[in-house]
Structure 1
Amino acid sequence: MKKFLIAAHGNLALGIKSTLELFLGDALDFTYLTAYTDDAPNLEEALENFFSSIDEQTDQAVIFTDLYGGSVSQKIAMKAIGKTNVFVIAGMNLPLIMETASLALSGEDYDNDKIAKLITGARQELKQVELVAGTLKTDTAETEQEMTETVTLASSTPALTERPETNKHMTMRVDERLIHGQVAMVWSKALKLDGIVVANDEVVKNQMQENALRMAAPNGIKVIMRSLDDSITLLNDHRSATKNLLVLVRTVKDAVTIAAKVAYLDRINVGNVGKMVEGDKKKLAPTVLLTPSEEVALKTLTEICPETDFQMVPTDKKELAKDFVL
C-alpha cells in the first residue's frame, strides 16, 4: 500500500489538501500535518502515529515537507533514518505531489531513482509566464515550444494501409476546459499518454487560446490542435494506432461529431462540462451539467458508444452515462 504525508509549518498542508482532492479525488491514503499553530496536534505524537501505520513489509511511504532545513523536515528525517520503504522530499510544489501520487494510481512502486526523476521533472514546472512576446529568452521556452508544437503527419512517413494490432489506446474526453491541471497532471499519467489532440473549431482560430492551452500541456507529451473535421482525418489515419492518445472536445455535441466518424475510439469519457454555459441546465453528475440540446446529444453519444462514462478523475467511481439518459 502507498501512503503519503504532507507536513508543513502553519496550515499549508491543509490548503494543499483541498487542492489535491480536487485533482486526485480522495481514494489515495494522504495524511496532512500542520505544525506550530495553536490548534495543531503534537508534532512528535502525530509523526509517531503516521510511522506506526506503515507496514515495513508491504507499504511504501512518501513524505513531503515544506523546507529542507526546517524543523519539520528535521524531525521527520530522524524518524525515517534507515527505513528503505520511506522516501522524504523536502521542498515541494503541486506538480511534484501530483506526479508522485499518479505513480501510485498506475500501480508502480517507488525507488530512489524514480523519486529523483520526479524531483527533476517538478523543477521544470517552475516557469516564468511570458507576458510580453519575445521578452523571455530561455532554453526552457524553446524546449516547451518543441514539446508542444503543433505537428502534422509527416509526408515522409507512409500511411498504413491497415490498422496495426496494438496495445495502444485512443480515449476521447469531454472537458470544457480542454487542457488543464487534471488532464495534464492526472489523466496524462493514468492513460500513459503519448499525445493529446485538441479537437475544437474555435481554438484553432484563436492564437491566444492556443497559447494558453500549450502553457497547460504536460511536459514530454505532444499536443496537436485541430478543427473537428481535421481531427477526424487525423484520428482515422491508421498511424494513430501507434500512440496512446487523448482526444479532448469541449461539448457533448462535438463528441458526437467525432464518435460518429472515428472508428477506433476505445473509450469516451465525460468529465467536466456545463459549468461555463449559461441558461437552463440539468445536473446529471457533480461535474456534468447539460442544456436540453446537450442532453439530446448525450443520448446519441450513448447510442454510438454504450460504454460512454462519467468520471472526473481516475480515482472517482466510473458511471455509465446511459444510466442518466431518459
Structure 2
Amino acid sequence: MAVSNSSSALSSTFYLTGILDYEEFLHWISIPFCLLYVVGIVGNCTILHVVWTDPRLHEPMYYFLVMLSITDMGMSMPTMLSLFRVLWSISREIQFNICVVQMFFIHTFSFTESSVLLAIALDQYVAICHPLQCATILTPKLITKIGIAALLRSTFAMIPLLARLTFFPFCHSHVLSHSYCLHQDMIHLACADTKFNVIYGLVLITVLWGMDSLGIFVSYVFIIRSVLRITSHEGRRKALNTCASHICAVLILYVPMIGLSIVHHFAKHSSPLIHIFMAHVYLLIPPVLNSIIYSVKTKQIRQGILHMLLPTNISSTVR
C-alpha cells in the first residue's frame, strides 16, 4: 500500500494559484515580477563577475558575498518558470516530482542563506576584533569548508521532510495556495497523518534559524563591545558602517521568513492575498535588495561595477 501511495503521489498533478480576484490583470501584474527577477539576477551576477575578475577582492568578505549571491539566486530562480506560466496563463499544472524539486531548492537555499549570514557575521567579528589575524584565521580553505558545510547541513535537514511527502496520499484538493510549491502548503493537502512533518518542520526552523540568529547576535555583541573601545569617532563610524549592509541582509531574510511561517501556521483563515503577498516577498525581495545594498554600500564592489561599465579614465574620475 505504501508503494502504491508513493507511486500515486509521484504521478499526481497539482494546480498552482495566481493572484486571486485579479485574473484579468495578471499580464500587467507580471511586469513588476519580471523586473524584480531581472534586477535580482543581473545584480547578483554582476557581483559574482566583479569579485571573480578583480584579484583585489579575493578576500574573505567578498567570498562570503559570492556565497550570499549564489544562495539568493538559488532560492528565487526555481520559482521563475512556474510563476510566469501562471501569470501568462500558459498552464497552472505542475507535476508532484517537479514540485518536490522546487521545494528542495527553495527551502535548502533559504536555510543555507541563513548560515551564510552567520558566516558573514563571524567574518566581521574577526575583521573588527582581530584585524591582524584575519588572513590567518579565515583562509580560503576554511571558507570553502564553511560554504560546503552550510549547504550540506541544509540539504540533509530537508531530505527526511521531503522524502515523507512521496508516501502521502493526496485524495482531496490538489490546488496549491501559491504560484510555486512550499512544503507547509503541500502538507495541508495530504489526507494522512502529517504530524511528523509539521513538528519536524517547526523544530527545523527553530533549531537552524535559532542557532544562526543566536550566533549572529553573539557576534554583534562582541563587535559592538570592540567598537565602543575605539577612541576615534571616525573609526567607530567606519566600523559600524561595515556592518550596516549585513544587518540589512539579516532583516531582509528573517523578517519575511518569520512572517510567512506565522501566516501559514497561525493565520490559515486570513485573506489569501496576505499569503500570496508574504510568499512572493519572501522569495523575490532578498535577491533584489541584497544586490542593491551591497553594490551601493560596499566601496570596492561599487568601484568594480563602475570600472566594468565605464571607461577606465571615467571610472577613476568618478571614484
More helix by share: 2
- Band the TM-score falls in, shorter-chain normalisation: under 0.3
TM superposition score normalised by structure 2: 0.21
More strand by share: 1
